[in-house]
Structure 1
Amino acid sequence: MPIDITMPALSPTMETGTLAKWLVKEGDTIKPGDVIAEIETDKATMEVEAVDEGTIVKLLVAEGTDEVPVGKVIAVLAEEGEEVSAAAAPKEETKAEPKAAEKPAEPAKAETPAETKAEPKPEPKAEEAPKAAAPAPAPAPAKSSGDRVKASPLARRLAEAKGVDLASLTGSGPNGRIVKADLDKAPAGAGAPATAGAAPSAAAAPVAAPIHGAPEGVPAETIKLSNMRKTIARRLAESKQTVPHFYLTIDVRLDPLLKLRSQLNAALSEDKKLSVNDLVIKALALALIEVPDANVQFAGDNLYKFGRADISVAVAIPGGLITPVIRDADNKRLSQIAVEMKDLAARARDGKLKPEEFSGGTASLSNLGMFGIKQFDAVINPPQAMILAVGSGEKRPYVVDDALAIATVMSATGSFDHRAIDGAVGAQLMAAFKRLVENPLAMLA
C-alpha cells in the first residue's frame, strides 16, 4: 500500500511552510533517517528525514512552492515489493482537483449565496447574473463549472483582497491552477466583474495603503522574502505596536570578569573555553533568579512567574536571526554554557536546530559587542517581557575605588514590557546584573 509523505510541523507555531528543495527524485530508494527535503519554516530552513522505507514514486509539490499547509501530501512512497505504477496511480487521481469532485453536484447552490449576500431575493439575482456577465465573455466559462476557477486558497484570498476576478487570469500552476505568482502579476481590480458591486469597496482598504516600489531610475534588485524574514517583520512590528517598551541602560566595568575568564580558560580544554558572552548569559540568568519579579511573562489577565532562567540568545544566520535557548542557565556551570552555546550557534547557522531548541525562553540576550557597537536598544521578543542588549567593552574613564581611572567598560540596555515589569523592578534587575559582572566570583559560588 502506498505511503503518503506529508508536510511536517517543524515548529509549534508552523501552519504552512515552503518546500525549499527536494534532496531525492522519483525512483530513488530511501530508508528511515535519510534526508529527503529542505523545508523553510517561519524560524529556519530545516532538513526533513524519512521515517519509512521504500521508493519515491511521485513528488507532488514542486521545489520553491510557498504556503504548503502542514499535513498536505507532498510525495508518495511505494513500500518494498510494491509495484511502482500501482502506487503512483491513485495519487494521480487524488491529486487532480479533489474539491472539484465535491462541488459539481451543486453548482447553482455554490453560486447563489455568493451573489445574493446583499439581496434578500435569491431568485431574481440568479437570473440577473448571466445578463450582467454577458458583456464580459471571459468570466462566463469559469462560472459554468462547479468549482468555477482552479485556484489555490492563498490565491483566492489575495484575489478577494485585490478585487481581481480569478476567471480573467491564466493559471501557471499544475493543470492551469491559479497560484500566488499569478496574482502578483495582476494589477488590483483586474477583470473585476460588473456584478460584484461589493468588490471595489472590499478592496479599497488594501489599495489605499500600497507598498511602494523602488524609486524610478534607481538600480534595484527585488529579493523575495523568506518565511523567516516575513516572521521577523511581523513579530517585531507587532512587538513595537502592542508592547509598551521602556529602556534602562547601565555601564559595567568588565576588568574583573576578563581577568576571571583568562584564569579559567588557562585551566579549560579548548572545547570548553569561555567567551565573554558565556559569562554574560550566566550573569543575566542569576540576576533573573535574584529578581524573580523580572523573570515573568504577560498573559492577558495573568502573569507567569518562572522558577528558572531559560535564556534565548540571538544568533545571526543567513537571511535573519534565530534564538537558541540555554535552558536552566542559572544552574549550569560556565563550561556547560560555553559548550552548549558553541553547539547551538553552529547548528543554528547550518539550519539544523530542532524546534524545541529555539522555542521558549524566559528572557533574551542580544550581543553586538563583537561588531564594535557601543550601545543599542533591542526589541522585545514576544511573549517574553525583557531582552538585554549588550555592547562592546572599551577603554573609558571610570571611577574605580573612588578614584578616576581607565577601565574596560561595557554598556548594557534592558528593554522591558511595562505591562509585566515596573521601572523599579527593571532597575533592580540591571543593578543585580552589574554587580554580578563586576564581582564575577559570585557566579562560581
Structure 2
Amino acid sequence: MIEFLMPSLGADMEDATLIEWKKKPGDTVKHGDIIAEVETQKELIEIEIFEEGTIGELLIKEGTKIPVGTVMALINPREVTSETKKEEKIIESIPLQSIEEKIIESIDAPKVEDLSIKTAPLVEKISEDNDLSKITGTEPDETITKDEIENTQEIPIETEKQSSIAEAIRSEVVAAMSQSNREIPHYYLEKRIDMTNVLAWLQVANSKRSQKQRLLPIALLIKATAKSLLEFPDLNAIWDNGLQLKKDINIGFVVSLRTGGIIVPALHHVNIKSIDEIMDALNDIIPRARALRLQSSELSDSTITLTSIVDGGADTVFGVIYPPQVAIIGFGSISEQPFAENEMIGIRSCVSVTLAGDHRATDGLTGSRFLVSLNKHLQNPELL
C-alpha cells in the first residue's frame, strides 16, 4: 500500500486546506494525474500524484486543514503482469532520434532578409508574455505593433480573493528572500554575450512559421541554460544539510503578476524539450501563473531559477537565490552595444548575463565556466 502525503508547496509552507478530492476510491491513477485541490495562503493548487495504482482509501475530509507530510490517501500499487513487462520491453526497444538531430534536419536556411513576419523591437519582449497567434497585421509584411498586442489581450476581472492571494504571494517572496540573504553566502558573476547570431537565426526560423509557431529569444536562452547545466550539474541542485544534485532540469521562470509581485512556476524537463516545446510550455504556463492556477509540481519542482528583463528595462539584473536552490541566472535587456571582435569594433546585439551562486555549493570558477559554456551554446543556435 502506498501512502500519498500532503506535499510541501513552498519554502515556508506548513499546511493547506483540502478543498476537493478529484479522485474517489476504486479510481485508477497514473503519474501526473490530479488527485486533489488544496488551498494555501497564496492560491488554489491542484496536487498531482506520482505513483500508479488504484485509490484504496481517502483519509482526509474536504475542508480539513492538513499539515505538510500528513498521509492523505492510501493507494494500491499497480500490479506488474507479464503483459505489462512485454509492453515495457517493446517500448525500450524503440530507437529514439535525438531532439537536436530533428532540429538540425528541419533547418533549411533562407536568406535572413527574406521575411514575411516582422515585429517591432519592443514587441519581441512583450510577446514573451502573450500569445502572438491571435494578432495579425493588415498586410502580410506589416510589423506587429505594441497596440495590436494590447488590443487583443483579455483583461481579467480582479476579484478581492485574487488581490489577497497576490498579497500573500508577495509576503512569501519577501520571507524567502529574507531567508536567502540571511543564510546563503552569495557570489555574483557577470558576462556580456553577443546575441546577434541568435536573433539572425530566429529571423530565419520564424520566416517559415505561422504566427502561432513563432519562437522568441527567451526560448533559446532557456534551452542554452539547460544544456550548460548538463555540463555543470552542481548548479542544478538544492542545499539541504549538504548539496543534493537533481537529475531533472526544471527551470523556475519568474513571471510578473498583473496585481504586482512575482510567481515562479517550473518548466519541467527542459533538458529533453525542443525549443518549440519550451515555447509551447511558456505560452501555456504564463497565463495560468497570472491567473494563479498552477499545479503543485509547478510550484515546488524548480531546481534553478531564471529571471529576465524586458527590452528597454535594466541592462543587468542580479538575482537573489530562492532557497533551497543554489543558483539563479539573470538575463538583462537585449540592446545594441559596441563590441570588439578580431581587433575590430562594431555594433552588436548583446545581453548581460549574471549568475548568483551559493558559495557552499559551488565557487566562482565553476560559475565562470558555466557562463562560458552558456556563451558557447548561444553562438551556435542551430545546435540548440
TM norm. shorter chain > 0.5: yes
Deviation at 1:427, TM superposition (A): 0.5
Q: Residues of 2 paired with 1:239 and 1:32: CA distance? A: 36
5 Å matches for 1:182-197? Answer: none
CA root-mean-square deviation:
3.1
Q: Match for 1:70: what amino acid? A: I
* 31 and 378 in structure 1: CA distance in 2 versus 1, 3 angstrom threshold: closer
* 428 and 350 in structure 1: CA distance in 2 versus 1, 3 angstrom threshold: same
Which residue number corresponds to residue 12 of structure 1? 9
Q: Residues of 2 paired with 1:40 and 1:368: CA distance? A: 31
* 330 and 226 in structure 1: CA distance in 2 versus 1, 3 angstrom threshold: same
SS at match of 2:238: strand
- Assess if the C-alpha contact under 8 Å between 2:45 and 2:296 holds in 1: no
- Assess if the C-alpha contact under 8 Å between 2:46 and 2:296 holds in 1: no
* 325 and 371 in structure 1: CA distance in 2 versus 1, 3 angstrom threshold: farther
Which residue number corresponds to residue 175 of structure 2? 234
- Assess if the C-alpha contact under 8 Å between 1:9 and 1:15 holds in 2: no
Asked if 1:70 is matched to 2:11, the reply is no
Q: Residues of 1 paired with 2:39 and 2:22: CA distance? A: 21
* 268 and 419 in structure 1: CA distance in 2 versus 1, 3 angstrom threshold: same
Deviation at 1:17, TM superposition (A): 5.5
Gaps of 5+ in 1: 1-7, 23-29, 50-59, 62-67, 72-222
Which residue number corresponds to residue 311 of structure 1? 251
Q: Residues of 2 paired with 1:46 and 1:390: CA distance? A: 30
* 232 and 296 in structure 1: CA distance in 2 versus 1, 3 angstrom threshold: same
| Deviation per residue, 1:162-212 (Å, 9 max, x gap) | xxxxxxxxxxxxxxxxxxxxxxxxxxxxxxxxxxxxxxxxxxxxxxxxxxx
Which residue number corresponds to residue 40 of structure 2? 41
SS at match of 1:369: coil
Percentage of pairs with the same residue: 27
Match for residue 279 of structure 1 among 220, 227, 230: 220
- Assess if the C-alpha contact under 8 Å between 2:335 and 2:351 holds in 1: yes
Which residue number corresponds to residue 169 of structure 1? none
Q: Residues of 1 paired with 2:368 and 2:332: CA distance? A: 18
Q: Match for 1:356: what amino acid? A: S
Q: Match for 1:268: what amino acid? A: R
Q: Residues of 2 paired with 1:284 and 1:294: CA distance? A: 11
Q: Residues of 2 paired with 1:32 and 1:70: CA distance? A: 17
Asked if 1:372 is matched to 2:313, the reply is yes
Q: Match for 1:325: what amino acid? A: A
Q: Match for 1:436: what amino acid? A: H
| Deviation per residue, 1:409-431 (Å, 9 max, x gap) | 11011000000011100111011
Q: Residues of 1 paired with 2:39 and 2:210: CA distance? A: 36
Asked if 1:351 is matched to 2:292, the reply is yes
Q: Residues of 2 paired with 1:69 and 1:31: CA distance? A: 14
Match for residue 430 of structure 1 among 348, 371, 380: 371
Match for residue 204 of structure 2 among 243, 248, 263: 263
Asked if 1:402 is matched to 2:348, the reply is no
Q: Residues of 2 paired with 1:231 and 1:416: CA distance? A: 21
Match for residue 192 of structure 2 among 242, 245, 251: 251
Deviation at 1:237, TM superposition (A): 0.2
Deviation at 1:11, TM superposition (A): 5.4
Q: Residues of 2 paired with 1:432 and 1:334: CA distance? A: 18
Q: Residues of 2 paired with 1:422 and 1:438: CA distance? A: 25
Gaps of 5+ in 2: 24-36, 48-61, 68-162
- Assess if the C-alpha contact under 8 Å between 1:377 and 1:414 holds in 2: yes
* Relative contact order higher in (CA < 8 Å, ≥ 6 apart): 2
Match for residue 283 of structure 2 among 319, 325, 342: 342
* 272 and 358 in structure 1: CA distance in 2 versus 1, 3 angstrom threshold: farther
Deviation at 1:407, TM superposition (A): 0.6
Deviation at 1:18, TM superposition (A): 8.8
| Deviation per residue, 1:109-143 (Å, 9 max, x gap) | xxxxxxxxxxxxxxxxxxxxxxxxxxxxxxxxxxx
* 397 and 31 in structure 1: CA distance in 2 versus 1, 3 angstrom threshold: closer
Q: Match for 1:313: what amino acid? A: F
- Assess if the C-alpha contact under 8 Å between 1:312 and 1:362 holds in 2: yes
- Assess if the C-alpha contact under 8 Å between 1:40 and 1:227 holds in 2: no
Deviation at 1:371, TM superposition (A): 5.1
Q: Match for 1:15: what amino acid? A: E
Deviation at 1:39, TM superposition (A): 7.3
Deviation at 1:296, TM superposition (A): 2.8
Q: Residues of 2 paired with 1:356 and 1:275: CA distance? A: 25
Q: TM-score, normalised by structure 2?
A: 0.60
Asked if 1:291 is matched to 2:244, the reply is no
- Assess if the C-alpha contact under 8 Å between 1:381 and 1:387 holds in 2: yes
